[in-house]
Structure 1
Amino acid sequence: MKPKIMLTNDDGITSAGLWAAYEALEPIADVTVVAPATQQSAVGRSISIFEPIRATRVTMNGVPAYSVGGKPTDAVIIGLFALRLNPDLVVSGINIGENLSYESIMTSGTVGAALEASNQGVPSLAFSLQVEDQGDKFDDPSGVTDRFSDAKRVVREICEKILANGFPENAHVINVNIPTPVRGGYEITRLAEKLFYTGVEERFDPRGRPYYWIDGPLHEDAEEGTDVHAVQKGNVSITPITLDCTAFRAKDDLRGIFDGMAI
């Protein structure tokens, strides 16, 4: 029997990246798509707890799928606990746009879905594709379809390796970022600190009242060994991520600060 994969994303069920991943995985696995009904980028691990969630069975590209009226995390929870899919692996992506560095993975809905799956005990991977222009994320996704040839190969090769060899014991999620184009090989990396130079642009509405856009250009590079540097070199970045956010090296400092107070 083929292994079972639940496929999700944060760009929405119509995203070209989601269906590129489906095409890559369908030959090697029994793939079920459970994805948000609409664009849900940058929602992280948000979860819908104040409103009901609808999961509608639809047909996309001739394939039965589930369109979830919620966040990527909601889609994962619905797939695991309402649809009872019991997958061997959860794959999130292919996201249109990089998910590199501490900064990005903390807000990424793509990574957030993978983290939720892992939190529920299912091995998970997140795949993201570098874009030359950040505006591509918000335009018609069909415009980047021609860039998915390398990405589909990467998704299939990495998932085949994980299914054959098992998930690394000390990781909860494998975060994969694919350059456009792929000019090198696979590189095991650590997270860089930043992806963007954060900025805020102030504008004014017709009544003269200010409003704001959060913006800022990408960092062009980072230290050797980081995910940002690997992608800039044209390598596929493979970063192990853990759910445990404990800053272990800070514990002794905290004991000193709370000397006589902490147990």
Structure 2
Amino acid sequence: MGDTLEVLVTNDDGIDSAGIRAVSSSLAKVADVTVVAPLEDQSATGRSLSHEVDVVEHELGYAVDGTPADCVVAGLAELGPVPDLVVAGCNRGANLGEYVLGRSGTIGAAVEAAFFDVPAIATSMYVPIERGPVHEADLGQEEYAEATRVTTFLAENALEAGVFEHAGYLNVNVPVAGGDPAPVEITHPSKRYEMDAERDGETIHLTDHVWDSMDPQVIPDPPGTDRRAVAEGRISISPLAPPHSTNHHEILESLAEAYAEMRGSLRADVSD
């Protein structure tokens, strides 16, 4: 890392969202910032990639007609200097639990960076249910103050502290700013999963019941999880690594041996 911190900023809400403007503005006070973000909302695209994308200059940086993962690849390989850190966010709406790790475009951008061996921070803000649907919530830059504060702090300190020697990226979830700064808790993703589907004629409605309530008195997520921390008003930081790790499994090894025996028998039958 040089004398000046280089940060690539992206998101999945689109380059014109209040969240990316708030985060990039805060980071610009401590780093050289290059913004490469989707032209339009690309929420829930995970790590989807395109073969070809258009790019146009924008007042914040570059707007890419593609996904967050496209933006990271384009930013790291072509559009900007090689950064010390990638920051994705701030997303409007929390990204909590194991099941969102492959679904969220915000986290998808951080994972893409981690595969490039570039540390990353994915920052998302929980929008209380009583404010209505997340995609309709009217949020100003001032409401991202909690997110910008902790993201900027981590950008300034996590690299030198050696955090990314043990994590590929950080999944950070914050409450909406208000009152005193929220405390931080180091967490792990909740395993809770409550998707459901109901058919209505030729239509199937998919519902995520995880968000039916975030009341800490009734949610089943245990202490130490990201959902529990955010429900109780704390900032959740989960240090994570890119997925697809492989574990040795003796039962699977025995199945592979059984398949080899079956294959040998089939070959013998064919040769007869």
TM range (shorter): 0.7 to 0.9
For the Cα contact (< 8 Å) 1:183–1:234, is it kept in 2? Answer: no
The answer for the alignment partner of 1:38 in structure 2 is: 40
* Pairwise CA distance, 1:193: 1.1
- What are the superposed Cα offsets for residues 114-167 of structure 1, whole Å, 9 maximum, x if unpaired? 100110121111000001138543226x53544212222111112222143234
- What are the superposed Cα offsets for residues 78-129 of structure 1, whole Å, 9 maximum, x if unpaired? 1111214211100000001111111111100000001001101211110000
The one-letter code sitting in structure 2 at the alignment partner of 1:200 is: A
- Structure label with greater radius of gyration: 2
**Percent identity over paired residues:** 35
The answer for the alignment partner of 1:159 in structure 2 is: 155
1:139 aligns to 2:141 (yes or no)? no
1:25 aligns to 2:27 (yes or no)? yes
Map 1:1-263 to 2 at 5 A: 1-49=3-51, 52-59=52-59, 64-133=60-129, 135-139=132-136, 142-181=138-177, 184-194=182-192, 197-202=194-199, 210-217=202-209, 218=211, 220=214, 221=219, 222-248=221-247, 251-259=249-257
For the Cα contact (< 8 Å) 2:146–2:181, is it kept in 1? Answer: no
Give the Cα–Cα distance (whole angstroms) in 2 for the partners of residues 129 and 187 of structure 1: 15
Give the Cα–Cα distance (whole angstroms) in 2 for the partners of residues 23 and 47 of structure 1: 27
Go from structure 1 to structure 2 and tell me whether the alpha carbon gap of 1:201 and 1:145 turns closer, same or farther (over 3 Å shift): farther
* Pairwise CA distance, 1:197: 2.6
* Pairwise CA distance, 1:71: 0.4
Q: Which aligned segments of 4 or more residues in structure 1 are displaced greater than 6 angstroms?
A: none
Partner of 1:110, secondary structure, is: helix
Structure 2: gaps of 5 or more residues: 261-272
Structure 1: gaps of 5 or more residues: 204-208
Greater shift in the superposed pair: 230-239 or 146-155: 146-155
For the Cα contact (< 8 Å) 2:110–2:120, is it kept in 1? Answer: yes
Give the Cα–Cα distance (whole angstroms) in 2 for the partners of residues 10 and 94 of structure 1: 9
Greater shift in the superposed pair: 220-229 or 11-20: 220-229
The answer for the alignment partner of 1:206 in structure 2 is: none
The one-letter code sitting in structure 2 at the alignment partner of 1:228 is: R
Greater shift in the superposed pair: 2-11 or 130-139: 130-139
Partner of 1:138, secondary structure, is: helix
- Cα RMSD after superposing both structures: 2.2
Greater shift in the superposed pair: 80-89 or 69-78: 80-89
* Pairwise CA distance, 1:183: 6.8
Give the Cα–Cα distance (whole angstroms) in 2 for the partners of residues 129 and 257 of structure 1: 45
Aligned residues: 248
* Pairwise CA distance, 1:180: 3.0
TM value normalised by structure 1: 0.85
Greater shift in the superposed pair: 76-85 or 181-190: 181-190
